[in-house]
Structure 1
Amino acid sequence: MTDQTGDRRLGFAPVVGTETRLLILGSLPGDASLKAAQYYAHPRNAFWPLIGGVLGEDLAAQPYEQRLERLKARGVGLWDVIASAERSGSLDAAIRSPEAADLRGLIGSLPRLRAVAFNGKLAAKSGRRIIGDVAGVGLIDLPSSSPAHAIPLTSKANVWNSLTDLVER
């Protein structure tokens, strides 16, 4: 989505449930995601295969709404650290004038939350600054699932698989 200026990108609503134990935060949806109105819609973004590996489910093969339902059923939530920003294109480096998402408010509404995982460096840097210390909630930095973060998928998966113990069985 963009606002009336055409440059300002607006993020999506959080995807969480009452049983959310793990919250994964990205930076801000890219152009493909905004156009599709779906988290991680770019076909080369590895998010769905990576989180599917964590859950032991082929989420990438499922329809989008079913993917979200499977995440919530397994205690996984999604959101972004930036609620809106000016950006041309999809790269995090192009983000200007970011407005922070209400991460502390969301975290306070999730009584079973055990960890927040940041999908990429900008999400980690901004998210850690916004969140600060939250008692009982671990903070985990993940390599970005973006195709712009050019490390092998197996290397990304090795780190992402550390989330396995945080999801509902």
Structure 2
Amino acid sequence: MALPTSEGAGDARLTGLAPIFDARVRLLILGSFPSPASLAAQQYYGHRQNHFWRLVGEILGEPLFELPYPERTARVLERGIGIWDVYQACIRPGALDADIRAGEVNDFAGLGARAPGLRRVCFNGQTAGRFAPQLARLGLETCVLPSSSPAYTLPFAAKLARWRAALEPVVFMSVL
């Protein structure tokens, strides 16, 4: 949703989405900021061409892409996966991360208290990945993954291999 601002046309301040996060989360996937399609739908990775739900669905063995959004989010939480973004608000004309300006970073300090089992944070792309050192200082494992965006032209199979290597060890670990 765009908030009014006194800046020029196309410079509206945008507010991101609430996190998909609860006490069961062991792995958090952080993107940069929702695309215009995601903001309009009020859904993470709401653009039909984004590979996110296909990637995570392949790893979990679930048809996430075909499910209604509330079912998708329930299934990832059941498997200990949270979803959020590094920016809570920004100015960004269009959908490219390179155009993000005046970004306000989300407050990550309380993550461990909210999800005591949180072990790893995976960053969806290089823009989000710039925040890996900040989360590593909180004692979390971090990794930067190839972007799930269709604008990042790495073949799907190559993206999937990297995502699988990062997510499977945490998602499929037994919970005591």
Instruction: Tell me which interval the TM-score lies in, with the shorter structure as reference length.
Output: over 0.9
When the two structures are superposed, what TM-score results if normalisation uses the length of structure 2? 0.90
When the two structures are superposed, what TM-score results if normalisation uses the length of structure 1? 0.94
Deviation at 1:68, TM superposition (A): 0.2
Partners of 1:142 and 1:17 in 2: CA distance = 23
Deviation at 1:106, TM superposition (A): 2.7
Match of 2:48 in 1: 43
Match of 2:26 in 1: 21
Aligned-CA RMSD value: 1.3
Match of 1:139 in 2: 142
Structure 2 unpaired stretches of 5+:
6-10
| Mapped pair 1:78 → 2:73 | no
| Mapped pair 1:153 → 2:163 | no
Q: Which residue of the other structure, out of 118, 139, 143, is the alignment partner of 2:123?
A: 118
SS in 2 for 1:165: helix
Structure 1 unpaired stretches of 5+:
none
Q: Which has the higher contact order (CA 8 A, sep 6+)?
A: 1
SS in 2 for 1:104: coil
Which 4+ runs in 1 deviate beyond 3 A?
A: none
1:143 aligned partner, one-letter code: P
Partners of 2:68 and 2:43 in 1: CA distance = 11
Partners of 1:131 and 1:114 in 2: CA distance = 11
SS in 1 for 2:3: coil
| Mapped pair 1:167 → 2:171 | yes
